[in-house]
Chain A
Amino acid sequence: SAVISQKPSRDICQRGTSLTIQCQVDSQVTMMFWYRQQPGQSLTLIATANQGSEATYESGFVIDKFPISRPNLTFSTLTVSNMSPEDSSIYLCSVEVIRSNTFDEQYFGPGTRLTVT
């Protein structure tokens, strides 16, 4: 398994500002992912973060709005830039743990609850 921590656990921010969320894993992992979960909804993949390369963004998400860093195999950050109330959400990081050649599992961090006023 993998134990994941995120900082901050929650924050209230003013529109127009930026917030950087940190994700720390207790073991080295190749792939890390960032998700957004808006109130009452499921998880939407924002981007995949691999160490040593640029993050890969899903449709509807761009690097200027959600820059990601992945400096090593145990750490990643997601920045929510120029925030608006629509960015209010829970942001979760997850890591892939490969169990076999047919089975890879994702473990999730506890999430960062962001409110933009």
Chain B
Amino acid sequence: GQNIDQPTEMTATEGAIVQINCTYQTSGFNGLFWYQQHAGEAPTFLSYNVLDGLEEKGRFSSFLSRSKGYSYLLLKELQMKDSASYLCAVSYFNKFYFGSGTKLNVKP
């Protein structure tokens, strides 16, 4: 089976930095994705890691350690519009398996 864990909910302040963790135990692994999903909308792609290390993309960075089955998404200079759910997903054999998602609340 697939086991992908994330914290259920987090709260952070506008302008701050927040780290959302994801641990996984899956039958296979091709890559790890992070998606953002605003309430009532479809998920949208944020970042992708296939090798160990940090991938930076503007205010968003994602880290992967395959040996530890661990990833995190780092959001810098938080804005109110970053309030959303963040989904960690593992891909293999062309399929995506999602974690339960982390709801991020950004407060002024």
Binding site for B on A (CB under 8 A): 31, 33, 41-45, 48, 59, 92, 94, 96, 102-111
Contact = CB atoms under 8 A, between A and B. Distances in A.
A43 B98 contact: yes
A39 B61 CA distance: 28
**B-side interface size class:** 20 to 34
B95 interface: yes
Contacts, number: 51
Interface string B67-92: 00000000000000000000101010
28 contacts: A33-B95, A33-B96, A41-B100, A41-B101, A42-B98, A42-B101, A43-B87, A43-B89, A43-B96, A43-B98, A44-B98, A45-B95, A45-B96, A45-B98, A48-B94, A48-B95, A96-B94, A102-B31, A103-B31, A104-B31, A104-B91, A105-B33, A105-B45, A106-B33, A106-B45, A106-B96, A108-B43, A110-B41
Contacts of B101: 41-42
A104 B45 CA distance: 11
A13 B42 CA distance: 22
A31 B94 contact: yes
Majority SS of interface residues in chain B?
strand
Given A41-B100, A103-B31, A111 B42 contact: yes
A38 to B, nearest CB: 11
Nearest to B8: A40
A45 to B, nearest CB: 6
Nearest to A58: B95
Contacts of A33: 95-96
B94 to A, nearest CB: 6
A107 B41 CA distance: 12
Contacts of A111: 42
B97 A108 contact: no
Nearest to B101: A42
